[in-house]
């Protein structure tokens, strides 16, 4: 129900994101999803990689001076049509949960569904809510297979 995400603190300067993605790419780490959130001085980069490469990616980043950590997020399927995301957000809102952050998956799906990465105020409660309402949550194995 939860998948691994690597969060990286990155200085907000020209070329920093390219340098980080180049490091990962040369290390054989393929990005499945990526989000960039910035402030004036630094950014938080959130990435999803194949779980077989999570530990090596984290080590590679840390060995090259990046501050990075692994945390757990939900990858939920939403209908890939107008209001598909809105329906999921309504469900979250009605349960009294809030979205801390969210971003979409980069890989195309053959199922016709969109995939959203979500960090919610209470992940366990959200997972139970999604199960009760038949919201498909992708397992780490399903994410790895994309």
Closest Cα partner for 87 from 116, 119, 125? 116
Outline which parts of the chain fall under CATH 3.30.70.260: 73-145
Average pLDDT, integer, range 107-113: 66
End-to-end CA distance of the chain: 16
Q: In the structure, what pLDDT confidence band is assigned to residue 110 with cuts at 50, 70 and 90? A: low
146 pLDDT above the threshold of 80: no
Fold category of 73-145 in CATH = Alpha-Beta Plaits (3.30.70)
Q: What is the Cα–Cα distance from 49 to 134, expressed in whole angstroms?
A: 26
CA distance 113 to 36: 23
Ranges of CATH 3.30.2130.10 domains, the chain: 3-70
Q: Which two tokens stand for residue 95?
A: 């349960």
Question: What is the mean pLDDT of the segment spanning 114-132?
Answer: 92
CATH 3.30.2130.10 fits 3-70, yes or no: yes
């Amino acid at each position: 129900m939860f998948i691994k995400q690597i969060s990286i603190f990155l200085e907000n300067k020209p070329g920093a994101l390219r340098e980080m993605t180049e490091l990962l790419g040369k290390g054989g780490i393929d990005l499945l999803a990526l989000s960039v959130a910035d402030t004036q001085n630094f950014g938080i980069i959130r990435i999803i990689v194949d779980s077989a490469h999570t530990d090596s990616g984290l080590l590679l980043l840390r060995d090259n001076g990046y501050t990075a950590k692994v945390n757990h997020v939900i990858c939920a399927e939403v209908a890939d049509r107008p209001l598909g995301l809105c329906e999921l957000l309504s469900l979250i809102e009605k349960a009294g949960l809030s979205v801390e952050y969210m971003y979409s998956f980069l890989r195309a799906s053959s199922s016709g569904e969109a995939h959203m990465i979500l960090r919610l105020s209470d992940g366990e409660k959200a997972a139970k809510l999604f199960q009760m309402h038949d919201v498909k949550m992708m397992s780490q194995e399903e994410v790895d297979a994309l």
